[in-house]
Structure 1
């Protein structure tokens, strides 16, 4: 819904997931749009929480930006969520726009986009246990 950052949905999901998963379970939140409260509650519940962000960060409010900045660097992931969240002026997204996601996230976190992409790739390898 327009203007909804999903706080209620994220919190209901957390309540349900906590009853099934151990605290040390690797978990990732796809397309995180919740604010600092949501991030804090999920981080408290799961010590191995990863957060994935899309180009939606370009429309984040101050609370959502605070949450984005609070995600530890070694737990941050990038995504395009293609075909959704296209670049302005385009009808759909594709994996090829990951660079723009990295630039948007890096700008808000005051980091170098290329360094952030490298870190996010290492984080994905860690989360999904990809062979080196």
Structure 2
């Protein structure tokens, strides 16, 4: 069986300090491909994911690692010419298969202004368009925002803004991407599909307090579905609260397969094929 973790922060300290063990456990759990997300701690360190992919390239004793590069919306204020030039430089590397995670986030009151987030998002979509690389979308729904963030951002809705910008500036190019760690509802999942995206589910789909995410799982056709960990975050039940790692993609895959009433092997085969098709991997 071949499972793909379509979103893991392998370069974050809590993972990187135990990376050999993390990769060994992933392979033992049949997680044979990992997309290492290259946002770093800030734009200055976004290259670390690409460096990990290069370090382990051709090593049959670990999962295949591919990378992304991008500026997280929480770091949008740092998306100046130098940082965007770095995204562009990394986008040219064959080990970097995607731009991201990028998007919008009105969840915390100390996040950048909305206009600043929009500008960074648009600039990175343009880089992705130039290099024909899919994008990895980060978007926290505004209804979950902190009270302080709601006071700051008012009635502005991150998901509505995100869909509008994607529809205008991305979908017409036919490149696609991933709605990472999908946390919306079935209607938003269908909107994502209509805009040309795959939808990826993380460990929070196993949390009982999010029935809308489970409804979204049922709304996404198997040929557009992906699974991920978002390591080191969002460990699935029964590991909630622990450090997450790619091996637990299998736990989420087993949960989703049970929800959909199919064998986990069928889910693994489909999501692996989806991932490889999206990123032109063999």
- Same fold? TM cut 0.5: yes
Deviations along 1:60-83, one digit per CA (max 9) or x if unpaired, are: 31x332221111111111101100
How far the C-alpha of 1:36 sits from its partner, in A, is: 1.4
Name the counterpart of 1:50: 198
Tell me, in whole angstroms, the C-alpha distance in 2 between the residues paired with 1:52 and 1:89.
19
Alignment of 1:121-132 (within 5 A): 121-130=272-281, 132=282
How far the C-alpha of 1:40 sits from its partner, in A, is: 2.3
Name the counterpart of 2:230: 81
TM-score normalized by the length of structure 1: 0.83
| Equivalent of residue 247 in structure 2, options 84, 96, 108 | 96
| Equivalent of residue 64 in structure 1, options 204, 208, 213 | 213
Name the counterpart of 1:114: 265
Whether 2:160 is the aligned partner of 1:11: answer yes
Supply the RMSD in Å over aligned alpha carbons.
Answer: 1.9
Greater gyration radius: 2
How far the C-alpha of 1:112 sits from its partner, in A, is: 1.1
Higher strand share: 2
SS in 1 for 2:248: helix
Tell me, in whole angstroms, the C-alpha distance in 1 between the residues paired with 2:241 and 2:221.
32
Contact 1:55 1:104 in 2 (8 A): no
Structure 1 unaligned regions, length at least 5: none
| Equivalent of residue 175 in structure 2, options 2, 16, 25 | 25
Tell me, in whole angstroms, the C-alpha distance in 2 between the residues paired with 1:9 and 1:113.
33
How far the C-alpha of 1:103 sits from its partner, in A, is: 0.8
Structure 2 unaligned regions, length at least 5: 1-106, 108-139, 143-156
Deviations along 1:16-59, one digit per CA (max 9) or x if unpaired, are: 22221134331210000110121122223x2x320011111112
